[in-house]
Chains A and B, each alone.
Chain A
């Protein structure tokens, strides 16, 4: 260890020197001569530091800073309040709309297969949405006033009352079945398969049927 290394490796906060440093002191008179007063100085500075550690800022500094902190925290809270008065409303509205939309999609996407009427075949679509029901309701006629326009009550089936729950199922049925139900369909189409809306009562039995006018696009 040389002189430069000796002084560079001294512990910052006092304490004992290493064996190598002690060995250097034993063989270097210059460093040994400097080391003794340096050690005394370091001890004196430690004492001074301990003495001074009692000195602190007056309490009024903390009081002033606390007031400043409260003022700033209050301003920040008010800023948040001003910025946020409409934000939760918008957020909740968006979240609610999103939830409804998701629920609608899920209901449609994972709806159980409808009860298959004995008179129809190959069910393709179930109409259950409130919107479609409202459209059907708006097109009601006399016999099936609770249903949409063009519905014909099936023979021996009870009518659907206005306050009664029902489902409408779009199905493919033979033309002959529609003729049997009393729907006017040319004899030449008796052998065809046509699209029909079948109204199912709360018990799942078919109550009424109508021919899909344009052949159905669903």
Chain B
């Protein structure tokens, strides 16, 4: 009896191709969470993410799925399929995330100078603020943040998933973090303004 949990993705893939249901279940449980979360972050919809997750693993069941271990890991390959499905969904308009312009905001704006952009927030508030900031990123930056920061995919796998060189992943990460800081600082200013108005509203 093989110890499925200790087997590599490639070994599990080989087994499932030979009809081993336990291998398929193990591989699915190992990888579904990251794929589903990536799809949620990218589409903004749990329903869409559910469909994408299903499609990703159905693609894996096909003999001609196109996975080549020489070109990258199975994880990177699965993220790549999920990304394509997300993009297809975006093209069809099936998403809860507004279709922002992917322009690179040619002139770099002044970077935030606050020591801690999340200071003064509770853990839950900080995470919610970050989630909104990530969600507001242009798609090309959002996907690198989700992959590399939230899912801790290494740059090489991310490059496979995104179909670009590692250097591009690095530069997008750098830019994405700058945009996140900017967004968080913008959000902090209205918060202060709202807080300032509260006593007056309560007084009325």
Sampled A-B contacts (12; CB under 8 Å): A7-B174, A36-B116, A41-B118, A41-B180, A44-B130, A45-B145, A49-B149, A55-B37, A56-B33, A57-B50, A57-B53, A66-B25
Further contacts, 15 of them, CB under 8 A, given A42-B149, A46-B149, A76-B19 = A8-B170, A12-B155, A34-B111, A37-B114, A37-B115, A40-B116, A44-B127, A48-B150, A55-B33, A58-B50, A60-B50, A62-B25, A65-B28, A66-B25, A69-B16
Within 8 A of A (CB), among B143-164: 145, 148-152, 154-155
Q: Given A49-B149, A61-B53, decide whether A70 and B21 contact each other with a Cβ distance below 8 A.
A: yes
Closest 9 CB pairs of A and B: A57-B36, A49-B150, A40-B116, A45-B149, A73-B19, A56-B33, A57-B53, A48-B127, A57-B32
How does the 8 Å CB contact mask read for B152-185 relative to A, with 1 for contact and 0 for none? 1011000000000000001000100100110010
Within 8 A of A (CB), among B1-46: 16, 19, 21, 24-25, 28-29, 32-33, 35-37, 40
B117 touches which of A40, A52, A58 (Cβ 8 Å): A40
* B58–A65 CB distance below 8 A: yes
B113 within 8 A of A: yes
**Residue of A with least CB distance to B174:** A7
**Residue of B with least CB distance to A52:** B37
A68 within 8 A of B: yes
Least distance between A67 CB and chain B CB atoms (Å): 11
* Contact partners of B53 in chain A: CB under 8 A: 57, 61
A38 within 8 A of B: yes
A187 CA to B112 CA in the complex, in Å? 129
A82 within 8 A of B: no
A12 CA to B152 CA in the complex, in Å? 8
* B32–A12 CB distance below 8 A: no
Q: Is the interface of A mostly helix, strand, loop or mixed?
A: helix
Least distance between B109 CB and chain A CB atoms (Å): 13
Q: Given A41-B117, A58-B50, decide whether A52 and B25 contact each other with a Cβ distance below 8 A.
A: no
Q: Of A33, A36, A49, which is in contact with the most chain B CB atoms at under 10 Å from its CB? A: A49
How does the 8 Å CB contact mask read for B50-89 relative to A, with 1 for contact and 0 for none? 1001100110010000000000000000000000000000
Q: Is the interface of B mostly helix, strand, loop or mixed?
A: helix
* A57–B130 CB distance below 8 A: no
Within 8 A of B (CB), among A179-197: none
Measuring CB to CB, which residues of chain A are less than 8 angstroms from any residue of chain B? Answer: 7-8, 12-13, 33-34, 36-38, 40-42, 44-49, 51-53, 55-58, 60-62, 64-66, 68-70, 72-73, 76-77
B116 touches which of A13, A37, A69 (Cβ 8 Å): A37
Q: How many B residues have CB within 8 A of the partner chain? A: 49
A-B contact count (CB 8 A): 107
* B115–A64 CB distance below 8 A: no
Least distance between A40 CB and chain B CB atoms (Å): 4
Q: Given A41-B180, A47-B127, A61-B54, decide whether A53 and B118 contact each other with a Cβ distance below 8 A.
A: no
* Contact partners of B113 in chain A: CB under 8 A: 33, 37
* Contact partners of A52 in chain B: CB under 8 A: 37, 150
B191 within 8 A of A: no
A56 CA to B151 CA in the complex, in Å? 13
* A44–B118 CB distance below 8 A: yes
**Residue of B with least CB distance to A64:** B54
* A66–B112 CB distance below 8 A: no
B94 within 8 A of A: no
Q: Of A40, A48, A52, A55, which is in contact with the most chain B CB atoms at under 10 Å from its CB? A: A48
Least distance between B184 CB and chain A CB atoms (Å): 8
A72 CA to B130 CA in the complex, in Å? 42
A69 CA to B59 CA in the complex, in Å? 11
* A61–B50 CB distance below 8 A: yes
Least distance between B150 CB and chain A CB atoms (Å): 4
